[in-house]
Structure 1
Amino acid sequence: MSFYELFELNHAALAPWRAFADATRAAFQSPGNPFAETPFGRSVLAAADLFERTTRRYGKPAFGLVNTEVDGQTVDVTEEIVWQSPFCSLLHFHRELPAGRAADPKLLLVAPMSGHHATLLRGTVEALLPGHDVYVTDWADARNVSAAAGRFDLDGYIDAVTAMIRAIGPGAHVMAVCQPSVPVLAAVSLMSEDGDAALPASMTLIGGPVDTRVAPTEINRLAKGYGIDWFRENAVMTVPATCPGGGRVVYPGFMQLSGFLGMHLDRHVKAYGEMFAHLVQGDGESVEKHREFYDEFLAVMDLTAEFYLQTIETVFIEHLLPRGLMTHRGRPIRPEAISGTALFTIEGERDDISAPGQTEAAHALCSSLPATMRDRYLQPGVGHYGVFNGSRYREEIVPRIAAFVRRHEPAEKPGRRGGAKRTKADPR
């Protein structure tokens, strides 16, 4: 029996206990239970709730963004798929704007494919919606993609990003959060060299590992220390036949989650201890904030093994992009070819995943860009997640992104009102 199958079996074995925890919660929440509002009853309820939450499988959350405020008015937002392949859907957050109102810049937000769903960027999207026409890459969970759909590696990721930029149309802006900084930079490099008509007007890279030789973090040192053979032998597994993607070789989401939790295990243990205390005390607001964060944080997805291994080797072990050795299907990636796409890099002062300097390294690679088409910003006092979520992101980073995007909007805006059209599934 494989480790993945053992994980699935263990999850199934806990199902009766989760059902018992649910029954216990229902019993101790009942107004007819004389122990319901006693310290003993609240302790039992808290324990049952904690057990159920720490043993469940968290499904993909919904964005749930149904409205936003534009020009001081609340407008409806509709989520629609405008491009699709077996491994990704391009979501458009269509805003019902007043007739005749000038269109906002089209912005493609490239979500990381690093274990969490694109909904991890819900706050990122929400803060951008008032002033931008937002599109988001919604990467598929590899355990749900049939093996018949074929491979999906880093080269395929670059192809997908390029296809989605073209689907949105000329003059758009692209913004990469963390991991996609490298493939987005590669895609724009290739499009620039080809003189592609859909070349983005600007490119914003946030907390990305462009050059992990700069201020190496624990993650960087781990990848370099183990080497690609260790990851190939220990980190990838075959999806069980009971899943839609049965037979596909993946880097499982539960492995990634173990890494996330292990980095700051003391913080997570403390957070769950505090949640237990809040449940006993009846502090519903604090409990709800905890639940919202962990509902998102604990919802993970599998990555195709070929994408995971190629990314580890290319970005974290061999540093091929900053060394000028990265290729796409045998073709060299030349960031120096970028001359018409403005570049903005954003980093967090306390980022322990992509340390300050790793993203800014993109400026040296894009050597053909004039100073007027560059900007860089280091956000004080925030870690990795703080550069794309939270109050400082909303209040200090988003206004800078908006100003940069507006400054580099094309004078002519072809197809601005229509946006990308819905398409059938990409046959690749």
Structure 2
Amino acid sequence: MRYMATYDLMESVRLTSEWYGSTAKALCSHPALGLATNPLVSLTAAWGEVTERSFRRMQVKPAWNINSVVGEDGRDHLVDVIRMVKKPFGDLIHFEVQGRREMPRKVLLVAPMSGHYATLLRSTVVSLLPDCEVYTTDWHNARDIPVSAGKFDVEDYTLYLVEFMKFLGPDTHVIAVCQPAPLTLAATAYLAEEDPEAQPNSLTLIGGPIDPAAAPTEVTDFGRTMTMGQLEHFVLQRVGFKYAGAGRMVYPGLQQLASFMAMNSETHATAFFDQIVRGARGKTNEFDRHNRFYDEYLAVMDMTAEFYLSTVERIFKKREIARDVFTVRGKPVNIGAITDVAVQTVEGANDDISAPGQCVAALDLLTGLDASRKASHLEPGAGHYGIFAGKSWRNNIRPLVLEFIDANMTHDRRRLRFANIRSLHAR
């Protein structure tokens, strides 16, 4: 019960902070104070606006807001978000472009489940849509999932990916961003032994902790120094009475957000101070750079406690993927079994979350894959977000990924076999 009370207390603090901001904005924006010469009035109104918006965004799941895409014919085509596979803890969604022929590149974008929603990859999706059929994982907020839905840990996550890959078929090209990289590698290896005909054509791993010990960061140091008992005692809480998942043990998104912001506290403090000053001068708008970034960055979701704990213990502490001893439902997953999937890794030279060396370690585990089907790229000057959503992604990494996909699109035998299997099932 005390954990539920703590969760509700965090929500009360968030609501109170939002109310303070709203009140300050309303009072100091009142027409009666319009002629005030004291700059403190406009600064307080701007502080209230920024505070209200920031704390409100922590509660709301952002919309994809991808309305249209320009086609090869030069026309704008509307985009529909279609749920292809619906499951309790996450869905497979397709960005269906109306009135456009099906694109030959079919991409499964595996979004991270590390405190933010899949919409964190919105700009990645937008950049791929003109050239690809884009599917992505859409993970659900654990606070909204009833306890009756059961548990969800790293093994369940891996099996979700296996199911999504099977559904899409062998002509798929998988791109895993950050947290899911090691589990996506494991899911591909699982398919290599259980259902080799359903393996994707290619796998691109972007900034993921395949081997966290290869290049320590603050994130890996935290996982190494904290015991599992300490984590369970200090960071987990039970969802409060307000939500459908009441009673479920979770790692709260607000706690994860606090950890992320603490890593770069000076940068965030400067960004918010500058935004308040710009607001006091009337130089902000709904979609300025600050609001676009923080509307997404501050929108956080809870993770199930078992997923968080198993990630820390099995991926970071025991390094089960890096040591190739990962198991799913008691079955060993042999990464060396991957022999027919081209694999590429992408890292950012300035990545302070998954430092260079952590992701490229995947290539050494692929003992059964020919060297000609392995590739790696280190992007100079790029931080963690830049390698999948920033200038480095747009100008350098995205073209590189598309070239890699094009070079590994010819698996006609597996595609034909998969089509025959689906035809038999349809009968």
Secondary structure at 2:352's aligned position in 1? coil
Measure the CA separation in 2 of the matches of 1:190 and 1:405: 22
Measure the CA separation in 1 of the matches of 2:14 and 2:208: 38
Unaligned runs of 5+ in 1: 421-428
**Which residue number corresponds to residue 222 of structure 2?**
222
- Residues 1:37 and 1:131: Cα distance change in structure 2 (over 3 Å): farther
Task: Give the alignment's TM-score, normalised by structure 2.
Answer: 0.91
Instruction: Spell out the pairing of 1:111-126 with structure 2 (5 A cutoff).
Output: 111-126=111-126
Q: Could you tell me how far 1:323 is from its partner in structure 2? A: 1.4
Q: Could you tell me how far 1:94 is from its partner in structure 2? A: 0.5
**Which residue number corresponds to residue 74 of structure 1?**
76
* Greater displacement, 163-172 / 108-117: 163-172
**Which residue number corresponds to residue 290 of structure 2?**
290
> Are 1:323 and 2:323 matched, yes or no?
yes
> Are 1:189 and 2:225 matched, yes or no?
no
Measure the CA separation in 2 of the matches of 1:225 and 1:37: 53
1:86 to 76, 88, 91: 88
Measure the CA separation in 2 of the matches of 1:370 and 1:37: 72
Instruction: Spell out the pairing of 1:265-414 with structure 2 (5 A cutoff).
Output: 265-284=265-284, 288-412=288-412
* Greater displacement, 200-209 / 222-231: 222-231
Query: Whose helix proportion is higher, 1 or 2?
Result: 2
Q: Could you tell me how far 1:233 is from its partner in structure 2? A: 2.2
Measure the CA separation in 2 of the matches of 1:270 and 1:195: 51
Instruction: Spell out the pairing of 1:109-148 with structure 2 (5 A cutoff).
Output: 109-148=109-148
The answer to whether the Cα contact below 8 Å between 1:278 and 1:286 also exists between their aligned partners in 2 is: no
Q: Could you tell me how far 1:409 is from its partner in structure 2? A: 0.8
The answer to whether the Cα contact below 8 Å between 1:79 and 1:92 also exists between their aligned partners in 2 is: yes
Secondary structure at 1:268's aligned position in 2? helix
Q: Could you tell me how far 1:332 is from its partner in structure 2? A: 1.0
- Residues 1:193 and 1:7: Cα distance change in structure 2 (over 3 Å): closer
* Greater displacement, 308-317 / 40-49: 40-49
* 2:91 counterpart letter in structure 1: S
Percent identity between the aligned chains? 36
Measure the CA separation in 1 of the matches of 2:167 and 2:75: 29
**Which residue number corresponds to residue 9 of structure 1?**
9
Cα RMSD for the two superposed structures:
2.5
* Greater displacement, 398-407 / 187-196: 187-196
> Are 1:96 and 2:98 matched, yes or no?
yes
- Residues 1:414 and 1:394: Cα distance change in structure 2 (over 3 Å): farther
Number of paired residues? 416
Secondary structure at 1:353's aligned position in 2? coil
Secondary structure at 1:108's aligned position in 2? strand
* Greater displacement, 344-353 / 285-294: 285-294
The answer to whether the Cα contact below 8 Å between 1:153 and 1:308 also exists between their aligned partners in 2 is: yes
Unaligned runs of 5+ in 2: 423-427
Measure the CA separation in 2 of the matches of 1:264 and 1:316: 22
Measure the CA separation in 2 of the matches of 1:396 and 1:84: 34
Measure the CA separation in 1 of the matches of 2:19 and 2:216: 45
Q: Could you tell me how far 1:321 is from its partner in structure 2? A: 1.5
Measure the CA separation in 1 of the matches of 2:281 and 2:95: 39
Measure the CA separation in 1 of the matches of 2:18 and 2:255: 22
Task: Give the alignment's TM-score, normalised by structure 1.
Answer: 0.91
Measure the CA separation in 2 of the matches of 1:221 and 1:22: 39
* Greater displacement, 194-203 / 39-48: 39-48
Q: Could you tell me how far 1:44 is from its partner in structure 2? A: 3.0
- Residues 1:344 and 1:144: Cα distance change in structure 2 (over 3 Å): same
Secondary structure at 1:233's aligned position in 2? helix
Secondary structure at 2:376's aligned position in 1? strand
For residues 312-344 of structure 1, what are the alpha-carbon distances to aligned partners after superposition, in whole Å with 9 as ceiling and x for unaligned? 011111111221221111111111100111101
Measure the CA separation in 1 of the matches of 2:140 and 2:314: 22
For residues 324-382 of structure 1, what are the alpha-carbon distances to aligned partners after superposition, in whole Å with 9 as ceiling and x for unaligned? 22111111111110011110100000011111011101101011111221111111101
